Amino acid sequence: MMGVVTYAIWLALIALSLAAAALSLDPQLGGPHRRWWWQGLALASAAVLALSPHVVTFSQQELLVFLTINTLVVVSYRLLALTGEFSLGHVVMMGFGAYASALLSKQLAIPVPLSIILAAGLTGLVAFVLAFPLFRMKGFYFLIGSFAAGETIRLLWKAFIGPKGISRIPGVPDIEIGAWEINFWEPVASYYLILVIAAVSIWILWRIEHSHVGLTFHAVHWRDQLAGAVGVNTWRTRTQALVLASFFAGLAGALLAHYITTVNPNRFAVHEMVFVLIWVIVGGTATIWGPIIGLVTLTAINEVLLRDIGYDELRPLFYGVLLVLAMLFLPNGLETLPARLVRHFRRAKLLASQR
Amino acid sequence: MTFGSVDRRRFIGTSALAGAAAATTVHPGRLRAEETVRIGFLAPLTGGVAAWGLPGLYGCEIWAEQKNAAGGVEIGGTSYNVEIVSYDNEYLPDKARTGAQKLISEDGVSFIEMLGGDTMPAVTPIANRAEMLVSTLLPSDLSPDTPFLVAPAEVHPIYNLTGVWWMAENMPEAKTAVICAQDDALGRPSVATYLAAFEAHGIEVKDTIFFDISTTDFAPVMTAMLAHKPDILCLDTAYAEFVNELCKQAFVQNYGGQIISCTADFYADIIANTSEEFMEGVIFQFPDFDDPALNSEDINFNDPNGFFEVYNERHPGQWGAVSWEYASILDLWLDGAQKAGSIEPAAVLGGMKQGGKGAHAFGEANWWGEELFGIDNALVGNWPVVQIQNGKAVIVEFKSIPEWWGEHSATMIKHFEAMGEMWYQRA
């Protein structure tokens, strides 16, 4: 029974994010009741997200925590991708936040909530410094440059902190309100905390994308020389995107570090970055929902379905096949699937009415 | 639609009958087992470190199958079937945490086997809270903070000293060495051990070269090593694919001296990539279990030759360093459970450590580790030195680790401290 509920929750999460992508991509969808559709979707999402940890198993609660952290990683990654630049250093930025918060809280005894915020800020600052050499490059050269920068940072952790990383990192402190105690060791409590942080962060990222600043990101992506000719400082715009994306990646890393209480350099190596790229590519980058769809769908297949049917060892193979299929049949990502289906039905309806 | 000469309906009917018969027919031995005890296997089954997880799972499955076929295991007057429940942690701490939670709270395991290393810090708090007995292959995971963690099979990297010790006795002309190692939780303590062993036996280490785990081109690493013209190339505890690549490079660059390595997993592949002559005499630490030396009375692993034969029939070409290790830990767990008369983790731990001695796969051994790990939770005794002779791994001698430790412990501690690997130095 628990298994059925678990699958229902994962399917609901995928369906809700697909519906949100469909509404974002098709301005005609919903017609005059479009606002109601959005409100209904928001309510349904809130209900599923609030209820889900109470109806799944203990290990699935853990998965939900990591899913929420990874949501922040992929959505922040998309912000940089809006400027047309794909980085291979985003997971290292996440790791920087993890290391910074671990060191601040463990070595300097800074309270964990403050160390998380400071770590995110420091990650943004490092990204700002990296922007000077990195944005002398574009496209493929930027991709390789970001990989080199990321590896340099990762190897510095190894050299100065050690290959084993840091363990026994303090967790988020418990909260006591009268007789009511919230213990963040429990995955449910951590899930709600991280969910709230992720929701606020995603809202901020959404607002940025739809602001004047976000529009310049798009302009720099599609017409950077034209944007420059009309007075947009393209270097500053790309730097803004990198700093903001890194800030939220650092935040995600800090949350991860205090939850699992350990960090090590291998956790943020390039093979982990490949997973982020796959989530984003399979999901799509046209809307903020695309990377979330990719993340949720692939996590459900990889961590729930394939483990349940006992194909642990074959999971990388399935991952590869899925990526190839997505690239072949949905090159713009899973997020375009509902819109394509809607178009297909509209066309069929039109043809039927013409007969 | 027909399947050969059988029509579809008949095929389905026959299959259903066969399935029902299979489901209701129980092996005569299994009828005697009253309950099931579940053992968790939480190790990398995919990714770069899978070579030290997956072959071990195969070994555990054979072990469990043999016990179940013999009617299960008898613990405290109850007969149990053994079920191995695996979870691929991909050598990532977050996945290891999720896996530990699942194995403990959902699968109800009584014991968890792990590789250890990067994944252990995320599991330790969970194991401590649940008072779950966990085993590691890497004693460098041990500390006073890990009372429920034991290293009963492999005392990595301490046993590496036996290879150097044997080499010093049998190849006195080899006087200089160069070490290379991946810069991680496996590589560094192993370097400390080799440095101590070389120093203790009067072999000069010309250089120690660390490389990152993302390294793919080993030509520069090998060139830098060979520039010192060493008598001995020490490959430390490099991952299986790294050992293969390093040997290939040494072969291509015409190295003609002695090679010593912690492991030489899938050495037949390495020979295929180099030559039998090149690999002749390579020293490492993990025997094939068809070795006649393992039929000695001192050996506690049950029917090693038979185990090796079954393993190779089922998984040809997959025999590696860990193929027998996780299974041998199950022997020690069973011994502890039978002494305790219970499958409760704390009781089994007590049973395992009873009298301060344990029946290690390679002979009786002592629970040890206080000086190096801050806790006596590593089982240490004899360890084999293995050499490739005519394309086949052969045990050349068993050496006593406690005997070496009695003479050279200060040297080992000195190098562990210099490498920042003592338990009190860990971040």
Tens of pLDDT along A4-59? 888 999 999 999 999 999 999 888 887 888 899 999 999 999 999 999 999 998 89
The pLDDT, as a whole number, for residue B20 is 43
* Residues A210-213: contacts with CB under 8 Å, at least 24 apart: A213/A237, A213/A240
Residues found in chain A: 355
Which of A164, A184, A302 has the most B C-beta neighbours within 10 Å, making it the best mutation to test the interface with B?
A: A164
The reported pLDDT for the residue numbered B184 is 84
Task: Name the phi and psi angles at B41, rounded to 5.
Answer: -125, 105
Per-residue pLDDT tens for B174-192? Answer: 999 999 999 888 898 999 9
**For chain A, how far is it from start to end, CA to CA, in angstroms?**
48
What is the Cα–Cα distance from B69 to B109, expressed in whole angstroms? 21
In 3-state terms, what secondary structure has residue A169?
coil
Neighbouring-strand partners of residue B363: B360
For residue B17, the model assigns a pLDDT of 41
Question: Which residues is B315 bridged to in the sheet?
Answer: none
At CB < 8 A and 24+ separation, what contacts does A215-220 make?
A: A217/A79, A217/A82, A217/A83, A217/A241, A218/A82, A220/A83, A220/A84
Which ipTM was obtained for this model?
0.89
Mean pLDDT of B140-151: 93
How large a percentage of chain A has pLDDT more than 70? 99
pLDDT at A352 (0 to 100) = 87
Chain segment B384-421, per-residue pLDDT in tens: 999 999 999 999 999 999 999 999 999 999 999 999 88
Contacts of A158 in chain B (CB under 8 A): 183, 212
Per-residue pLDDT for B364 more than 60?
yes
CB A65 within 8 A of CB A194: yes
Q: Which residue of B has its CA nearest to A307?
A: B87
Phi, psi of A232 (to 5 degrees): -80, 125
pLDDT score of B32: 57
Q: Which helix (H) or strand (E) holds A177?
A: strand A175-177
Tens-digit pLDDT profile for residues A199-216: 999 999 999 999 999 999
Closest listed residue to residue A307, CA positions, set A6, A68, A15:
A6
List of chain A residues whose C-beta atoms are within 8 Å of the C-beta of residue B60? none
Asked if B56 reaches chain A (Cβ–Cβ under 8 Å), the answer is no
Residue B22: is its pLDDT beyond 80? no
Q: Which residue has the higher pLDDT, A228 or A284?
A: A284
pLDDT over threshold 70, residue B6: no
Inter-chain CB proximity A312 and B92 less than 8 Å: no
How many whole angstroms separate alpha carbon B127 and alpha carbon B116? 13
pLDDT at B279: 97
Q: Are A198 and A72 in contact (CB under 8 A)?
A: yes
d(CA A158, CA A152): 10
pLDDT single digits (tens) A300-330? 998 988 888 887 778 888 888 888 888 898 8
Report the distance separating Cα A119 and Cα A111, nearest Å.
12
pLDDT band at residue B326 under the 50/70/90 scheme: very high
Residues in contact with A351: Cβ distance below 8 Å, sequence separation at least 6, in sequence order: none
pLDDT at position B345: 96
Domains observed in chain B: 33-156+293-380 (3.40.50.2300), 160-284+384-418 (3.40.50.2300)
Grade residue B115 by pLDDT with cuts at 50, 70 and 90: very high
Task: Give the integer Cα–Cα distance in Å for A293 and B417.
Answer: 49
B10 pLDDT more than 70: no
Q: How far is CA A306 from CA A303, A312, B414, in A?
A: 6, 6, 47
| Ramachandran category for residue B202: left, alpha or beta (phi over 0 → left; psi -120 to 50 → alpha) | left
pLDDT at residue A162 in the model: 85
Cβ–Cβ < 8 Å for B118, B142: no
Look at A123-132, A193-202, A254-263, B9-18 and tell me which has the smallest mean pLDDT: B9-18
pLDDT class for B284, splitting at 50, 70, 90?
A: very high
- What pLDDT is stored for residue B79 in this prediction? 95
Nearest to B70 by CA among B24, B32, B110, B23: B32
> Rounded to an integer, what distance in angstroms lies between the CA atom of residue A67 and that of residue A191?
9
Contacts of B155 (CB under 8 A, 6+ apart): B139, B378, B379, B380, B383, B401
**Taking CA atoms, what residue in A is nearest to B118?**
A164
* Bridge partner list, A175: A182
Q: How confident is the model at residue A2 (pLDDT cuts 50, 70, 90)?
A: low
What's the whole-number mean pLDDT along residues B226-241?
94
Average pLDDT, chain B: 90
B173: how many CB neighbours lie within 10 A of its CB? 6
What pLDDT does residue A80 have? 93
What is the identity of the amino acid at B340? A
B61-97 residue pLDDT tens: 999 999 999 999 999 999 999 999 999 999 999 999 9
Q: Which residue among A63, A155, A262 sits closest to B98, beta carbon to beta carbon?
A: A63
Given pLDDT bands bounded at 50, 70 and 90, which one contains residue B30?
Answer: very low
- Nearest to residue B415, comparing CAs of B372, B370, B375, B380? B372
Distance from CA of B45 to the nearest CA of A (A): 6
Looking at residue A340, its pLDDT comes to 85
Is the pLDDT at B9 greater than 80, yes or no? no
**Residue numbers in B near A161 (CB within 8 A):** 427
Considering only alpha carbons, which residue of chain B is nearest residue A263? B93
Is the CB of residue B422 less than 8 Å from the CB of residue B312? no
What mean pLDDT is reported for chain A?
92
Q: What is the mean pLDDT of residues B316-333?
A: 94
Q: How far apart are CA A324 and CA B104, in angstroms?
A: 36
Percent over 90 (pLDDT), chain A = 67
| Chain-chain contact of A264 with B93 (C-beta, under 8 angstroms) | yes
pTM for the full model?
0.86
